[in-house]
Structure 1
Amino acid sequence: MGSGRCNDREGGNPLASRIALVGAGRMGTPLCGRFVSAGHTVTVCDLRPEREAAVRALGAEWASSVEKAAAGADALVTVVPGPDEAVSALPDAVFAALAPGAVWIDMTSNAPATARDLRRRAGAHGVDVLEAPMGGSPADAEHARLRLFVGGPADVLDRYRPLLEAVTTPDRIRHMGGPGTGYTTKLLINLLWFGQAAATAEALLLGQRAGIDLAALHGTLADSAAGSDFIRRDLPALFAGDYLRSYGLDRIHDQLKVITEEAQDLGTPHEMADTVVRIHRRALDHFGPVDGELLAVALLEEAAGTLLRP
């Protein structure tokens, strides 16, 4: 099956059939299942050998190294925690091991500056590059509801769009522009979401202290000019005592720091962004590198001496 698809691809069919997937964590594992279900031959590598059973249960193969996974693959897909892991996983030997005319699709929440050098090294081996950082949860990955923020040449996206459509619907694939724009878009979304969470918590704590019923304030804010997806969709989890323990506070801080550094490099104002980073730095110092997307809110609750519970 793999060689037949590869021959079709060289004749003009862009759909890669042999995929090397690096990363079998919370997001990589359901993505592996989506690729296999779409009929692709998938070989997975992860630093944790205990992930092999879950990968094979999905119908994928397992490789003991990234180089072995990449050998002869038409597409290299990386789903690793962050920039440092991406650099560690992708020496030149990995790009050299791919099939001629292969593509590297990075679905990591990577740093634009870090990815720039990786993209250059991939290009030196004739490998096309697309960045497609994800928005969504592991459940969204499993059920093809992810949002992909794609950066890279439009013609490369056109060729490999069928591959991306194995993991999400066409309307959720957004081409943001050239290299770097996909990463920056994902980081900006994170910045605004975490900033909204902190600002909303401060407002709710003030309203609660002033004697306003939290449930009434929630409904009013949701229907007002100040309404947001965070208030309408995510705030009920906080009210139930759920700090969304699905992502590490250290990773959150690092990503927020990357986007503020990009603002500095590009010469745009970043006072608000700096504040969001400082709050999450304090939360990280206080709670440690544990999972919890709303732990900065927990820090604010502690400072106020009360919990946001209707």
Structure 2
Amino acid sequence: MSKVAFIGLGVMGYPMAGHISKRGHDVTVFNRTAAKAAKWVAEFGGQHAPTPAEAAKGADFVFSCVGNDNDLREVTTAPDGAYGALKPGAIFIDNTTDSADVARELHAAAKAHGAHFLDAPVSGGQAGAENGTLTVMVGGDADAFASAEPVIASFARAVKHIGPAGAGQLTKMVNQLCIAGVVQGLAEGIHFAQKAGLDVPAVIDTISKGAAQSWQMENRSKTMDAGQFDFGFAVDWMRKDLAICLDEARKNGAHLPLAALVDQFYSEVQAMGGKRWDTSSLIARLNRK
């Protein structure tokens, strides 16, 4: 078993760190709100530290799951950041969804410290984190991935090395682009069925057995039909992710007209008061008209 640090105990990080602890690893956690770190220790054992550097001291593996690029830099390369305490050969695994640029930047910075960095964003949402069934897409050096994979698998059902630094984040962008299009299509389909006076559950039960089937249909169609959105992956987070996608597309020349359109639709949902609604709330802007 390894000595592990976990930085960031939000709705994803809290259960992810818990799964690592349950596998028998010695886990030290850091969270900006110390009370939440103390709560985690009371639930899972281990210990909590006052700074990322203190958490990372002596760790074989350091995980992070924070908000954005700036948050990640703050817990890595800033004063009291984890990078100042990384031991030679330590592996830093970032599960945040952030830019490919910051992944490459921190990969190089880790090398300068004699350590390793893996960008390893996840898909599966809060339920996946709580159930230990996340999908993890990883960028970075193959040898570092081979060492870290068994620990990452503590909270995942699928872990895949995609390529060099930044490849994990780029793959997560593909994931979010696909989800955005599927959710908008599902929203329009259910909205159409409602306006046509159809039995929506019967429609979904039928078409989910065919080519229209998707995770979103299986897990979100009932709540979309009922107008329930107070759960799941927040619109604010999806807009952050789509902004990353659109920025990367401007750099690599990809054309993302649907993503840009759905991002605009999400801005309308935010204006409706839905900043923290689940991303399936795209149907709410259709049903208000």
The TM-score, its normalising length taken from structure 2, stands at 0.91
**Match 2:119 to one of 123, 131, 155:** 131
**Aligned-pair CA distance for 1:77:** 0.5
Partners of 1:166 and 1:45 lie apart in 2 by 19
CA distance in 2, matches of 1:198, 1:189: 15
Indicate which of 100, 110, 118 corresponds to 1:112.
100
Aligned residues: 286
Report the AA paired with residue 4 of structure 2.
Answer: I
Q: Where does structure 2 lack aligned partners over 5 or more consecutive residues? A: none
- How big is the shift at 1:53? 2.7
- 2:137 is paired with a residue whose SS is strand
TM superposition shift of 1:184: 1.8
- Once the two structures are superposed, residues 156-186 of structure 1 have per-residue CA deviations (whole angstroms, 9 ceiling, x without a partner) of 21122221122234xx112222221211222
Please list the CA deviations of residues 53-80 of structure 1 after superposition, one character each: whole Å capped at 9, or x if unmatched.
3221110211111111112222110011
Which residue of 2 is the match for residue 300 of structure 1? 286
For 1:248 and 1:225, locate their aligned partners in 2 and report how far apart those are by CA, in whole Å: 27
| In 1: Cα distance, 2:264 partner to 2:37 partner | 39
Matched, 1:272 2:241: no
Distance 1:219 1:72 in 2: 53
Question: 1:43 is matched with which residue?
Answer: 28
Q: What is the aligned counterpart of 2:145 among 131, 153, 157?
A: 157
> What amino acid sits opposite 2:145 in the alignment?
L
> Which residue identity does 1:195 align to in structure 2?
G
Amino acid at match of 1:233: N
**3-state SS of the aligned residue for 1:130?**
strand
How many Å apart are 1:302 and its aligned residue? 1.2
CA contact (8 A) 2:187 2:282 kept: no
**2:190 maps to 1:198:** no
Residues 136-145 or 23-32, more deviating? 136-145
Write the letter of the residue equivalent to 1:28.
G
| Post-superposition offset of 1:83 | 2.2
Partner amino acid for 2:160?
Answer: R
Cα separation, partners in 2 of 1:138 and 1:248, compared to 1, 3 Å: closer
* In structure 1, distance between residues paired with 2:197 and 2:155: 47
Residue 211 (structure 1) shift: 3.5
SS state of the match for residue 136, structure 2? strand
Identity %: 29
Partner-residue secondary structure (3-state), 1:294? helix
238 and 206 in structure 1: CA distance in 2 versus 1, 3 angstrom threshold: closer
- Given that 1:246 and 1:292 are in contact with CA atoms closer than 8 Å, whether structure 2 keeps it comes out as yes
Tell me, in whole angstroms, the C-alpha distance in 1 between the residues paired with 2:272 and 2:22: 43
* Counterpart pick for 1:236 among 193, 216, 222: 222
Question: Which TM-score applies when normalising by structure 1?
Answer: 0.85
Q: Please point out which of 247, 254, 274 is paired with 1:261.
A: 247
Alignment of 1:1-310 (within 5 A): 17-57=2-42, 58-91=44-77, 93-169=81-157, 172-243=158-229, 245-287=231-273, 289-303=275-289
Q: Shift of the alpha carbon at 1:288? A: 5.4
Structure 1 vs Structure 2 CA RMSD: 2.0
